[in-house]
Structure 1
Amino acid sequence: MEGFLYQATIYLAAAVIAVPIAARLGLGSVLGYLAAGILIGPVFGLVGHETHDLQHFAEFGVVMMLFLIGLELEPRALWDMRHRLLGLGGLQVAVTTLAVMLGFMALGYAWSVSLAAGMILALSSTAIVLQTLSEKGLMQTPGGRSAFSVLLTQDIAVIPMLALLPLLALPSLGLTANPDGSITRAVAEEAEHGFSLVEGLPGWGVTLVTLGAVAAVILTGVYLTAPVFRFIHAAKLREMYTALALVIVVGIAFLMNLVGLSPALGTFLAGVVLANSEFRHELESDIEPFKGLLLGLFFITVGAGIDFAVLVKAPVTIVGMAVGLILVKGVILFLIGRAFKLRRRRLMLFTLSLSQAGEFGFVLLSFSNAQNVIPPVLGERLLLVIALTMLITPLLFLFYDWMSKKMGDPATEAQEADEIDDEGPVIIAGIGRFGQIVNRLVQSSGVRTVVLDHDMRTIELMRRFGFKGYFGDPTRPDILRAAGLEKARVLVAAMDNPAMVTQLVAYARKQRPDLHIVARAYDRRHVYELYQAGADDIVRETFDSSLRAGRYVLENAGFSEFEASRMEDAFYHHDRHSIRELAELWDPAVSADQNADYVARSKELDKDLEAALQALIRKDSEAA
């Protein structure tokens, strides 16, 4: 017990001291955790061999992080990412594996060893990248979403890699000849066999059991989670929510291990299934503290596990391999990102964030050693290369921050529009304080909308609250066509810029004479412009709220609620009639006060309004 308490004190104290210092210096928490691990491990020797055992436990932080990310993604959003998963992610894994394999073959290694090294080093660090992206608020940027797609593909790719590695075993290592001439793998005999549902099954049996496990996770999330949460809620014990959240994550991870799948991938799938659950936020709040602590512990164990003795024996070789790996992966990521139309800041983020090796590389390397796929000396060096590249990654993010400042304000950077793969009867252009109310009302009434906005920050904020939207300039014809302008029934022009609203209305009316257009107007002059551009319904952004305020004034100035409401209604209809008449007389080439007909008719309408309201007051008074 004393030994456990001592080790716990060392790990926690190192994190408490190093991480705040790193954060104050602007280095990020990940670099602080890694530095803490280096100090208590290789530098001062306060922790020892238990670091590797502890690392397996700390990897649950990665599992929990992917579960939380899954909770933020609806199944439809995951389906929308399919092009990035198969394109960006698939290309990165395949091309990087091939490039690293050719590099090791050039160094004189056998093709099987080179292929294994390529698969191990092709993976990036899910833990470091996602943690840093979240801290810096980059997760919802185009570069951040592209990086996440690649990381998710890599997690999926671990499954076929684990199946392929035993086929690459070296015939000269760990094999003994039996008297009958057969070959036995000594390591396999000595290995401890854990629980497994697929061991000894034929290929079709493994497939059925694996699919059954995935189906069990999905069905449990859809049908069983809600009743269990309601049962726990009846107990009125707050700690039971936390226990249930942990049971979900740990249980799914255990099930995935039993069928040979990645625990992180299984919990991510469970998170996606529960993304639409009413208990999503409860799960997030319960898991978040454990995720943060375990991730921090994982980073500390990575730092503490760096074997500087191996590094001292061949520093040039190992450092050269680490830097070379970052450069090779960086070039491949840059080219793939360019091919998928990532540019400037988003391309730089995509390239720098994924150019390291990752924690799943430790898993594959350990498995490769057990299966005698990689020679022990090379395995030690690869272990150190993975740790060094992970240690360099926070510095690459600092370089990205520095380069971003050199590029200027991201709001001024020209960004490419999102690919629109959805259609609906209503297109809402502009999702600011005006358009979002329209969108919420229409969507809540069961009508599908396609939302466009040229402000990336607004779109990202909207996505955080569960509303789907697309980044792009609504006045661009190609974006309008992609949004379904030819089939839409209603177009809502609600942008902040009056000139853009007028331009959009004029173009849409020209393309679709039968389209109903609702437009947001800034003031009276803008109303006239929109009327001439062809808008059907024109709404001044402050008109209705001003009317309501006027009604409150009347109610507190001696009129009854009924009388104030009648006068508000009369003013509303008179103003709509007046605006339509004045729009016919308005000439954009002449200022309003110089347009004699406009001024004269405006005065007449004002007198008509006053007379109508006075008549209404007399009528209500007589009725009373």
Structure 2
Amino acid sequence: MAILPQAAIFLGAAVVAVPLSKRLGFGAILGYLAAGLAIGPGGFGLISEVDAILHFAEFGVVLLLFVIGLELQPSRLWAMRKSVFGLGLAQVLVTAVPLALAALLYGLTVETAVIVGLSLALSSTAFALQSLAEKNELTTRHGRSAFSILLFQDLAVIPLLALIPLLAPGSGDSGASGGWIEAAKVLAVLAAVIVGGRYLLRYVLRIVAITKVREIFTAMALLTVTGTALIMESIGLSMALGAFLAGVLLADSEYRHALEADIEPFKGLLLGLFFIAVGMSLNISLIFESPLEILGWVAFLMATKGLVLVAIARTAGLTWASSRNLAAAISQGGEFAFVIFGIAVASQLMDGGLAELLIVVVTLSMAATPLVAAANTWLLARRSGPAEEPAKPIVPEENQVIIAGFGRFGQIVARILRARKIGFTALDVSAEQVDFVKRFGNKIYYGDASRLDLLRAAQADKAVIFVLAIDDVEASLQTAATVSENFPNLTIYARARNRKHAHRLMDLGVTIIRRETLNASLDLSRAVLTGLGLPASEAERTVKTFQDHDEQRLMAQHAEHNDEEKMIYMAKEAAEELEELFEQDAKAEAAE
């Protein structure tokens, strides 16, 4: 089937199934699975090339890990090391033991049982993180713990893949020396990726950003993820882990928010396609042939992982509510099991029938996750225990204030905020300006602040104040419109180039406006008056009178600012009013 008809089928299935699933309270993921089941070989048979689509859609998981890496600065990653290697290692090892024992009782060999136990101990990064993000639970204690465990599981895939050839029939010690060479190769490539990502990649991104061609920057963002993933795959490592590493290396760069904004749409679409492909791969006939056996394995898998997760979470100090939420979030099987089972079959560690059965078990456990989470939420709501407390941030976030435009005006605001130790995120559309101000130690990100996706990446929904300091009038107005429409709780403090700019900002609902030349001209006028011999107090009073009158006229003229003739008349009228005002002051002073 041609690509366009297939795309129409995928989009149509998603548009129907996902809103319906959300409406019924099951979440988007179950809707994607249902859509895949409906159009796949087990449903209406509209799509048949399931393996090829699943392999392509796995790139959505790669993009997901890259975006997560962008949000996880090295300092935060280092702060999480105990939970990653503590909770993560405990979960994998403790879960793998009962699952491997069950596989032995099922009649498998020790080698195969070890691979089955370790593979089923892994959870689905895509399912868990997407579900937690939908419910805004990534910053809760169980959300942080889930992320730490999932990150360790992604790391654990590497030694697990290396273990399969060692356990395969006929393996011996002949490859021991080759193993050292392969290990050295892996370390060399990792070092090259780290150095290149830290220094060379930023330089290339700056060159691309200077062109100011948005689609080329988007292409560079996708090339960054794709290139890193392919390099990692070439040495036998996880593509998702490579993308995560690239994201972490760029988390401190000035292009972090722009990269996230450009990658986000592709990530969302490909993740949805991945979930649809998982639903398509479900072997319905196998379920009908052995329903009790398969459902028994699904129940045993999720119950075992759930109990282990609750136990280690309680040991780590999480509350009962947090522990149960953690278990409900990541008690399913993971997508890496599909890869591991395929390699195990190729290595003659398990037969194709067993691999197919286990894939069905993992897929059904994924499908059951939204239902388990909903049941857990319902049970917790019925209990009268204390609500779960949100996790404390690992490091302070720089999002209390967002400064759009980092020229002379925005930099002054930033210097004052920094002096008071008030966090802010600065955005500027000029790559040259970003590079210039960075030389003076300023923290600034590249990106067009009028883009909604960029503002979301910069966490505008969590900010308190938006400082609009963009020099270009049209760009300033477009940004003000975007912020006002999409972030109504974000107060805008705007810079206006002139009176006309101020009036157009008022049209958009902006009320806190400072005209950039007003204060400087008032200061100079005050100096001119004192230079002409007026006492300092009289010069100050004159300037203050003018300023108050001008502010009043600015507001009064707002309603008519689009009528040029009316504005000319009102300007003459204002000048006459001001002269009369000063004459009255002079008479009053003479009378005294």
Instruction: Map 1:142-291; keep pairs closer than 5 Å.
Output: 142-170=141-169, 202-291=178-267
Matching residue's letter, 2:156: A
Query: What letter matches 1:69 in structure 2?
Result: I
Larger radius of gyration: 1
Pairing partner for 2:420 from 431, 437, 441: 441
Shift of 1:216: 1.9
Give the partner amino acid of 1:227.
Y
Q: For residue 413 of structure 1, what is the aligned residue in structure 2?
A: 387
User: Alpha carbons of 1:413 and 1:564: their partners in 2 closer, same or farther (altered >3 Å)?
Assistant: farther
1:325 correspondence with 2:324: no
Stretches of structure 2 that go unaligned for 5 or more consecutive residues are: 402-415, 425-440, 442-455, 463-525, 527-536, 545-588
Task: Give 1:98's aligned residue.
Answer: 97
Letter of the structure 1 residue corresponding to residue 266 of structure 2: F
**Cα distance, 1:403 vs. partner?**
3.3
Q: Is the 8 A contact 2:141 2:390 kept in 1?
A: no
Deviation string, structure 1 residues 45-99 (Cα, Å, up to 9, x no partner): 3345411111011000000001000100110100011111111000001111111
Counterpart in the other structure of 2:328? 352
Q: State the partner residue of 1:110.
A: 109
Q: Could you list the per-position Cα deviations for residues 311-341 of structure 1 after superposition, in whole angstroms to 9, with x for gaps in the alignment? A: 1111100111011100011111110111101
Deviates more, 1:42-51 or 1:118-127: 42-51
Residue identity opposite 1:396 in structure 2: V
Q: Distance in 2 between matches of 1:75 and 1:356?
A: 29
Question: Would you say the 8 A contact 2:92–2:122 is kept in 1?
Answer: yes
Contact 2:87 2:148 in 1 (8 A): yes
Is the 2:76–2:394 Cα contact (8 Å) retained in structure 1?
A: no
Displacement of 1:8? 2.2
Structure 2 equivalent of residue 35 of structure 1: 34
User: Which residue matches 2:504?
Assistant: none
Contact 2:57–2:271 (8 Å) recurs in 1: yes
1:371 lines up with 2:347 in the alignment: yes
Asked whether the 8 Å contact 2:57–2:274 carries over to 1, the reply is yes
| 1:345 positional shift | 2.6
Distance 1:101 1:116 in 2: 8
Contact 1:10–1:46 at 8 Å: present in 2 too? no
The whole-number CA distance in structure 1 between the counterparts of 2:238 and 2:391 is 34
Partner residue of 2:369 out of 393, 397, 422: 393
1:401-480 map, 5 Å: 401-407=377-383, 413=387, 415=389, 441-442=420-421
Q: 2:322, 2:388 within 8 Å by CA — same for their partners in 1?
A: no
Is the CA contact (8 Å cut-off) linking 2:140 and 2:390 kept in structure 1?
no
SS of 2:40 mapped into structure 1? helix
Q: Deviations over 1:429-453 (max 9, x none)?
A: xx99xxxx9887236799xxxxxxx
Structure-1 residue corresponding to 2:429:
none
Give the count of matched residue pairs. 431
* Cα distance change on mapping 1:253 and 1:131 into 2, 3 Å: same
CA-to-partner distance for each residue in 1:489-519, whole Å, 9 max, x for gaps? xxxxxxxxxxxxxxxxxxxxxxxxxxxxxxx
1:125 maps to which residue?
124
Task: Give SS of 2:348's match.
Answer: coil
Out of 273, 278, 287, the position equivalent to 1:297 is: 273
Q: Is residue 2:362 matched to residue 1:383? A: no
Q: After the TM superposition, which residues 542-621 of structure 1 pair with which residues of structure 2 at under 5 Å, given as runs?
A: 562=540
Q: Distance in 2 between matches of 1:6 and 1:419?
A: 46
Contact kept? 1:221, 1:274, Cα under 8 Å:
yes
Aligned equivalents of 1:421, 1:286: Cα separation in 2: 25
Listed one character per residue, the Cα deviations across residues 413-433 of structure 1 (whole Å, up to 9, x for unaligned) are 3749859999xxxxxxxx99x
Deviation at 1:211, TM superposition (A): 1.5
**1:20 matched to which residue of 2?**
19
What are the superposed Cα offsets for residues 2-60 of structure 1, whole Å, 9 maximum, x if unpaired? 53333222112111111122122222111110010111124533345411111011000
CA distance in 2, matches of 1:561, 1:328: 81
Q: For 1:124, what is the secondary structure of its paired residue?
A: coil
Aligned-partner residue type, residue 305 of structure 1: S
Task: Quote the offset at 1:108 in angstroms.
Answer: 2.6
Q: Partner letter of residue 420 of structure 2?
A: L
The CA distance in 1 between the partners of 2:460 and 2:200, in whole Å, is 25
Q: Is the 8 A contact 1:58 1:295 kept in 2?
A: yes
Alpha-carbon distance between aligned partners in 1 of 2:369 and 2:325, rounded to the nearest angstrom: 12
Per the alignment, in what secondary structure is the counterpart of residue 421 of structure 2?
A: helix
Amino acid at match of 1:29: A
Distance 1:201 1:50 in 2: 41
Q: Distance in 2 between matches of 1:17 and 1:218?
A: 43
Aligned to 2:45: 46
CA contact (8 A) 2:319 2:388 kept: no
* 1:257 CA drift (Å): 0.6
Does the 8 Å CA contact 2:41/2:48 hold for their aligned counterparts? no
Distance 1:417 1:302 in 2: 32
Inter-partner Cα distance in structure 1 for 2:92 and 2:320: 23
Equivalent position SS for 1:373: coil
Aligned to 1:84: 83
Partner of 2:491: none
Once the two structures are superposed, residues 548-593 of structure 1 have per-residue CA deviations (whole angstroms, 9 ceiling, x without a partner) of: xxxxxxx9xxx86857999xxxxxxxxxxxxxxxxxxxxxxxxxxx
8 A Cα contact 2:139 2:390, kept in partner: no
Report percent identity of matched pairs.
43
Aligned equivalent of 1:179 = none
Do the aligned partners of residues 228 and 147 (structure 1) sit closer, same or farther apart at CA in structure 2, a change above 3 Å counting? same
Structure 1 residue 232 displacement after superposition: 1.5
TM-fit CA distance, 1:227: 2.1
Q: CA RMSD in A?
A: 3.7
Secondary structure at the aligned position of 1:202 is classed as helix
Question: Which TM-score applies when normalising by structure 1?
Answer: 0.63
Distance change in 2, residues 1:243/1:563 (3 Å): same
Q: Name the CA distance, whole Å, in 2 between partners of 1:134 and 1:560.
A: 61
Helix, strand or coil: the match of 1:236? Answer: coil
In 1, the alpha carbon distance for the partners of 2:419 and 2:319 equals: 33
- Residues 561/228 of structure 1: CA separation in 2 closer, same or farther (3 Å cut): farther
From the superposition, tell whether residues 440 and 209 of structure 1 become closer, same or farther in structure 2 (CA, over 3 Å): farther
Kindly indicate whether the alpha-carbon contact (under 8 Å) linking 1:116 and 1:374 is maintained by their aligned counterparts in 2. Answer: no
Q: Distance in 2 between matches of 1:440 and 1:352?
A: 45
Quick one: distance in 2 between partners of 1:394 and 1:292? Answer: 18
Report the Cα offset of residue 240 of structure 1: 0.1
In 2, Cα distance between equivalents of 1:96 and 1:248: 35
| In structure 1, C-alpha distance between the alignment counterparts of 2:32 and 2:293, rounded to whole Å | 26
For residues 144-197 of structure 1, the C-alpha deviation after alignment (integer angstroms, 9 at most, x for no partner) is: 0100000000000000000101222246xxx9xxxxxx9xxxxxxxxxxxxxxx
Deviates more, 1:396-405 or 1:219-228: 396-405
What is the CA–CA distance in structure 2 between the aligned matches of 1:141 and 1:440, rounded to whole Å?
Answer: 31
Q: Secondary structure at the match of 1:442?
A: coil
User: Which whole-Å deviations, capped at 9, do the CAs of 1:276-296 have from their partners, x for residues lacking one?
Assistant: 111111101110011011100
Give 1:426's aligned residue.
none
Pick closer, same or farther for the CA change 1:233–1:111 going to 2, 3 Å: same
TM-superposed deviation, 1:360: 0.5
CA shift, 1:127, in A, is 0.5
